[in-house]
A and B are shown apart, each in its own frame.
Chain A
Amino acid sequence: MSGRCCARASAIFVPADKAPPMLQLEGIVKRYGSYTALNGITMQVPPGQVFGLLGPNGAGKTTLIRIITRITGPDQGRVMLNGKEMGPDDVARMGYLPEERGLYKKMKVGEQALYLAQLKGMSKADATARLKAWFERWEIGGWWNKKVEELSKGMAQKVQFIITVLHEPQLLILDEPFSGFDPINAELIRAEILRLRDAGVTVMLSTHSMASVEELCDNIGLIDKAELMLHGNVKEIRRRYATNTFRVDYTGSKVALANSLSFIGELKDAHELDGHGTALITLSKGSTPNDLLRQLLPAVSITGLHEEIPSMHDIFIRVVSEKAPDHVTPGMTE
């Protein structure tokens, strides 16, 4: 495995933090028969941060989450929690919100939450007290004796979120936490995630919403076709994918602007409105924004200059649509 492991160098790794990782995955391999779901995943989740687990559908995210939550075991590799190899008792320190939400429909909300909390190892009294506090805070006390089937989908999801965090896990794994919520409730969940992070909880967030990745995540890992393609700090990754492109706001002639560029860069796009223009210019290698300004100043009057940093959305699409690395096993594309 180690050979394949080293081929992983093709994934861009940006070292994130000095603090020891909350969760460390070392060369995780999972196969189902001839199908390889995960092929040597090595990554770190720093403590007290929100970590984004990204990837297209079928990339292996759910499998990886199931390995972390000990629902299934890896064929190779180790999962370390706080620097120690994870054991069966560690599941009590994790909270997991699966993508496919589900509760017992015929069971009452309060009773069900208590049952699931007790399965996580909480005492009944403890769980009751905390659950009451949550219900008060979210002002949903009236739901306690309702059956889950009487709740709307959004309400049931709120209940499930509470159940996930009730036992105050150190590591919270949320698979698409915002799906199925209206904007108000999504905001509520978002605020709750940040509050938990600030309280020291490490959050692993799997989502397809790149906007929320930029907003919430400190670090990410991007998995595609069973491989880790991208791993590290969000800001640094975005900077790394920057193409040295700048947006120039100006007044004056577009032709003059284009002519003044000479060899310093290439005009990607430009449009004008009421004499105010915006141009996208990709600088050639070795040129700096200062060089650009020097060239442009005689031609047009500059009102603004910004670097264009690619969004996670763009980066995601770029990474995923790139050709798969050579060492990908053929069965994997199933």
Chain B
Amino acid sequence: MNKIKLIIWREFITRVRKPSFLIMTLLAPVLVAAGITVVVYLSLQDNNDQRVLVVDQAQLLQGKLKDGEKLTYYVDNATWTDSAFKASPYTVMVEVNADILNTNTVLFFYKELPSLGIQRTISNELEKNLELAKLQGEGIDEEAYRRVRKPLVMKLFDIDKVGEESYEQERAGIGFFFGYFMFIFIFMYGVQVMRGVMEEKQNRVVEVLISSVKPFQLMMGKIIGIAMVGFVQFVLWIAITSTLASVGSAILLKDKLDPKAIATSQLPADAQAELEASGAMAMADKDDVKLLAALGKINLPLTLAMFLFYFIGGYLLYSSLLAAIGSAVDSEADTQQFMFPVTLPMILAIIVAQTAVYNPNAPMVLWCSLIPFTSPIVMMVRVAMGNAPVWQMLLSMALLVGTFIATTWLAGKIYRTGILMYGKKISWKEMGKWLFYKG
């Protein structure tokens, strides 16, 4: 047992000490944070005052458009030529044609494309005023119209849990996030296990090692050591990314920290109300609220415990298979034919997990949440959603445990023979034979 600790430690420390680990650990969050910051920053960049010329051929908007921050409207009834607009100090020209109430289309000319936020603000301002004109034309009372046009809210309830809104979809989304994280981790570090095994085989150091330790110890030590590297890297990533993201946005954006505050601050109060009613911009707000509510609804201890369980189970399952592949081949190029059947179920799992978010009761989802090769990822969605009966969870867990014991055992057998086998073209049949060789 002491030996396996030594192996784990070596696998861990040699990887963590590598310059590439440091670079990856530092650089990835910097890049991600920089990316996020740049995107947020750019989306809010509107330094130039927008002078919007509204060519109002329908004669509906004179004096009705309200200026916003850095946004001024000039309404003119006359027609403007392109060259006249180009020569003018206006930055944007919007042509509202005479038949606007039927065509419902305006033409937006710009010298430099304004941000989406500005475009949306202008569009909303125009739409609101044109709507009013339409209402008047149809002789509809504005107040009545507002009452009628309230969006429909549909709340979901599970009949077995009376009185609670279920937020199933949002919870499924959270579960999918967990599953996706698992997928990335298993793939990244499983391949590292495979590479590590191949390195030892190519170095020929393996023969010295297994004259001291059992091949199974060597394999498990590597799998566990690399998992620890992964955990450390992910923890550092999350810590660094969140620190950088908050620091970065604080520095770059100062008081404009909250993008939503900016977007809405550009609008007058009633425009905001209008927006919320039309549901265009407020969707984000609502999603956030729903997500928080969903988080509250999730059985967090259970979900986290299951996440840990499926995560470890899934990683052991796949990394042992990848270790077996690494032991059997002589070079990276030979791994392709064996990698495909191993990665296929993982990709299938991600696809099914996606389906599960929208259609949690599909038979495919049920089966894939029980089959061990896909269950870690798919079951996470169902667990977060809270729609997996206890017996199914237990069955899925038992199958996973049984399977990873079987795969690590089988992988150990292939590994044991494979690491000492050189210069032989390996087939599935050949690997099958190795299972029956005596230790």
Complex partner residue of A102 from B3, B7, B203, CB under 8 angstroms: B203
Within 8 A of B (CB), among A73-92: 73, 75, 88, 91-92
Within 8 A of A (CB), among B11-47: 14, 18
The proximity string for B residues 381-423 relative to A, scoring 1 for CB distances below 8 Å and 0 otherwise, is 0000000000000000000000000000000000010001000
Q: Please state if B212 and A119 are interface contacts (CB–CB under 8 Å).
A: yes
Complex partner residue of B437 from A32, A92, A101, CB under 8 angstroms: A32
Nearest neighbor of A92 in chain B, beta-carbon distance: B212
With a CB–CB cut-off of 8 A, which chain B residues contact A160? 208
Q: How many A-B residue pairs have CB under 8 A?
A: 63
The proximity string for B residues 213-227 relative to A, scoring 1 for CB distances below 8 Å and 0 otherwise, is 110000000000000
Min CB gap B305→A, angstroms: 35
Q: Please state if B6 and A115 are interface contacts (CB–CB under 8 Å).
A: yes
With a CB–CB cut-off of 8 A, which chain B residues contact A101? 204
Complex partner residue of B207 from A92, A100, A105, CB under 8 angstroms: A100
Q: Please state if B207 and A102 are interface contacts (CB–CB under 8 Å).
A: yes
Q: Please state if B205 and A119 are interface contacts (CB–CB under 8 Å).
A: no
B-side binding surface: helix, strand, loop or mixed? helix
The proximity string for A residues 125-148 relative to B, scoring 1 for CB distances below 8 Å and 0 otherwise, is 000000000000000000000000
Complex partner residue of A73 from B204, B205, B207, B438, CB under 8 angstroms: B438
B210 at the interface (CB under 8 A from A): yes
B10 at the interface (CB under 8 A from A): yes
Q: Please state if A105 and B213 are interface contacts (CB–CB under 8 Å).
A: no
With a CB–CB cut-off of 8 A, which chain B residues contact A162? none
Given contacts A73-B439, A115-B10, contact A100 B212 (CB under 8 A): no
Q: Please state if A106 and B14 are interface contacts (CB–CB under 8 Å).
A: yes
A33 to B438, CA, bound (A): 10
A-side binding surface: helix, strand, loop or mixed? loop
A120 at the interface (CB under 8 A from B): yes
A103 at the interface (CB under 8 A from B): yes
B339 at the interface (CB under 8 A from A): no
The proximity string for A residues 153-188 relative to B, scoring 1 for CB distances below 8 Å and 0 otherwise, is 000000010011000000000000000000000000
A77 to B209, CA, bound (A): 25
With a CB–CB cut-off of 8 A, which chain A residues contact B14? 104, 106-107
A69 at the interface (CB under 8 A from B): yes
A70 at the interface (CB under 8 A from B): yes
Complex partner residue of B439 from A72, A92, A115, A163, CB under 8 angstroms: A72
Number of A residues, CB within 8 Å of B: 31
Q: Please state if B203 and A103 are interface contacts (CB–CB under 8 Å).
A: yes
Among B7, B203, B213, which residue has the most Cβ atoms of chain A within 10 A? Answer: B203
Q: Please state if A98 and B204 are interface contacts (CB–CB under 8 Å).
A: yes
A196 at the interface (CB under 8 A from B): no
Nearest neighbor of A160 in chain B, beta-carbon distance: B208
A246 at the interface (CB under 8 A from B): no
Min CB gap B415→A, angstroms: 13
Min CB gap A174→B, angstroms: 12
Within 8 A of B (CB), among A1-41: 32-33
With a CB–CB cut-off of 8 A, which chain B residues contact A250? none
Q: Please state if A96 and B205 are interface contacts (CB–CB under 8 Å).
A: no
Q: Please state if B203 and A71 are interface contacts (CB–CB under 8 Å).
A: no
Among B6, B10, B200, B211, which residue has the most Cβ atoms of chain A within 10 A? Answer: B211
Complex partner residue of A91 from B211, B433, B439, CB under 8 angstroms: B211
B191 at the interface (CB under 8 A from A): no
A101 to B205, CA, bound (A): 7
Nearest neighbor of A95 in chain B, beta-carbon distance: B211
Min CB gap A146→B, angstroms: 16
The proximity string for B residues 224-245 relative to A, scoring 1 for CB distances below 8 Å and 0 otherwise, is 0000000000000000000000
Q: Please state if B205 and A103 are interface contacts (CB–CB under 8 Å).
A: yes
Q: Please state if B209 and A119 are interface contacts (CB–CB under 8 Å).
A: yes
A116 at the interface (CB under 8 A from B): yes
Min CB gap A181→B, angstroms: 17
B206 at the interface (CB under 8 A from A): yes
Complex partner residue of B203 from A32, A104, A164, CB under 8 angstroms: A104
Complex partner residue of B212 from A32, A103, A105, A116, CB under 8 angstroms: A116
Q: Please state if A119 and B203 are interface contacts (CB–CB under 8 Å).
A: no
Q: Please state if B212 and A102 are interface contacts (CB–CB under 8 Å).
A: no
With a CB–CB cut-off of 8 A, which chain B residues contact A91? 211-212
Task: Apart from A66-B420, A115-B10, A119-B213, list 15 A-B contacts with CB within 8 A.
Answer: A33-B433, A70-B211, A71-B210, A72-B420, A92-B212, A98-B204, A102-B205, A102-B208, A103-B205, A104-B205, A105-B203, A115-B6, A119-B7, A119-B209, A160-B208
Report the 8 A-B pairs with minimum CB-CB distance, sorted nearest first: A102-B204, A119-B212, A102-B205, A98-B207, A100-B204, A96-B211, A69-B211, A102-B203
Q: 22 interchain pairs (CB within 8 A)?
A: A69-B211, A71-B211, A72-B420, A88-B214, A94-B211, A96-B208, A98-B207, A98-B211, A100-B207, A101-B204, A102-B206, A102-B207, A102-B208, A104-B203, A105-B203, A106-B14, A115-B6, A116-B208, A116-B212, A119-B3, A119-B209, A119-B212
Which B positions have Cβ atoms within 8 angstroms of A?
3, 6-7, 10, 14, 18, 200, 203-214, 416, 420, 433, 437-439
